[in-house]
Amino acid sequence: MIYLQNISKVYRTRNIETLALDNINLEIQKSEFLSIMGPSGCGKSTMLNVIGLLDEPTDGKLILDGVEINGHTDKALAALRNRKLGFVFQNFHLISSLNVQDNVELPLLYRKVSSGERKKLTEEVLEKVGLSHRRKHFPSELSGGQCQRVAVARALVGKPEILLADEPTGNLDSKMGEDIMNLLASLNKALGTTIVMVTHDRQLANQTERIIHLFDGRKVN
């Protein structure tokens, strides 16, 4: 499903060069639930961003669902992100000026889906995360756990094959974190969605099928 071959990422400023990812090789199977662990600054989020086409690798090859990502136009990358990928961020990253329903249907705006269909799909996914009664609320009116559930609904509404979650429970208390984790696990099982999760939390990582450890930009055993 996802292949990373000799992926490196270097951040350059005028005076400093930082090696964020160093020759990473990784293969992730379809429907796998995998977590990436490591200390702060080890390159976990960078790796997730590279897989999510939010950042370009400096070197190496990335293959997503059989498509080698190389020299794609902005439009092609946007289409891939829209069709194949869903994101859940630590800080939720909901759009404050949109209500829950409008936030959730965001990915559908960037494809040809009628408004009726958008509404139906949004309803379905909100039902799944247990927030259909909150669809007219704005993010500022929700708790952290509810915001993250909205973010998960948004990531899933377009039925992506791959869900990328960057510390999805990092800003939640343990009860809410557990809820989100259960939600992700059930989605993985029910829909066969491939999930790549970045986490600091060993307990959460243990609930996934495989753990990848990163240290100073390198994959370690």
Partner 1 sequence: MKYIHLKQIREQLRQNRFFTFLSLFGVSIPVMIVMIMIVKVELSINPGGPEKDNDQMLFLSRTKVRMEGDRAIGYVNLGIIEKYFSEIAPEGSLAFSRSTLTPVFLENEVLDVPIRYTNADFWDIFDFRFVEGSHYNHEKVRNKDNVVVISRNLRRKLFGMQDAVGETMELEGETYRVIGVVEDVTSLALNAYSEVWLPYTIKSFKSLDPGEIAKSAGGYRVTFRASEDWDFDQIQSDVERVRSRLNQINGEQAEILFGGPAPAAESYFRGFRDPETYEGNLLNYLALAGKALLILFLPALNLMSLNLTRIQERSQEIAIRKAFGATRKRMAFQIMGENAVLTILGGLTGLMMAYGVMYFFKDQIFAGFFIRNADQATIQINYVAFLLVMGVSLVFSILSGLIPSLRISRLQPAYVLKGGEL
- Which residues make up the interface to partner 1 (CB under 8 A)? 45-46, 49, 52, 54-55, 74-75, 78-79, 81-83, 87, 89, 93-98, 102, 105-107, 109-111, 115, 154, 158
Q: Is the Cβ–Cβ distance between 150 and 92 less than 8 Å?
A: yes
State in angstroms the smallest separation of the CB of 104 from partner 1. Answer: 11
Residues 6+ apart with CB under 8 A from 90: 166, 167, 168, 170, 171
Q: Report the residue number, 10 or 98, with the smaller CB distance to partner 1.
A: 98
Q: Could you tell me the smallest distance in angstroms from the CB atom of residue 175 to partner 1?
A: 26
Residue 13 Cβ, how far from partner 1 at the closest point, in Å? 12
Whole-number minimum distance, CB 161 to partner 1, in Å? 14
Element (H, E) at 37: strand 33-37
Looking at the Cβ atoms of 47 and 181, the one nearer to partner 1 is: 47
Shorter beta-carbon distance to partner 1: residue 44 or 219: 44
* Residue 187 identity: L
User: What distance in Å separates the CA atoms of residue 147 and residue 151, rounded to the nearest whole number?
Assistant: 6
Directed axis angle between helix 115-128 and helix 144-157, to 10°?
130
Closest distance of CB 203 from partner 1, Å: 25
Give which of 209, 214, 155 is closest to 180, Cα–Cα. 155
Question: 158 or 177: whose CB is closer to partner 1?
Answer: 158
* Amino acid at the residue 86: G
The amino acid sitting at 9 is K
Segment holding 27, helix H or strand E: strand 17-28
What is the DSSP-derived secondary structure letter of residue 132?
Answer: G
Is the Cβ of residue 99 or residue 207 nearer to partner 1 in the bound state? 99
Cβ burial of 165 (10 Å; 0-12, 13-18, 19+) is: buried
Cβ closer to partner 1: 113 or 211?
Answer: 113
- Minimal distance, residue 207 CB to partner 1, in Å: 25
Q: Give the H or E element holding residue 5.
A: strand 2-12
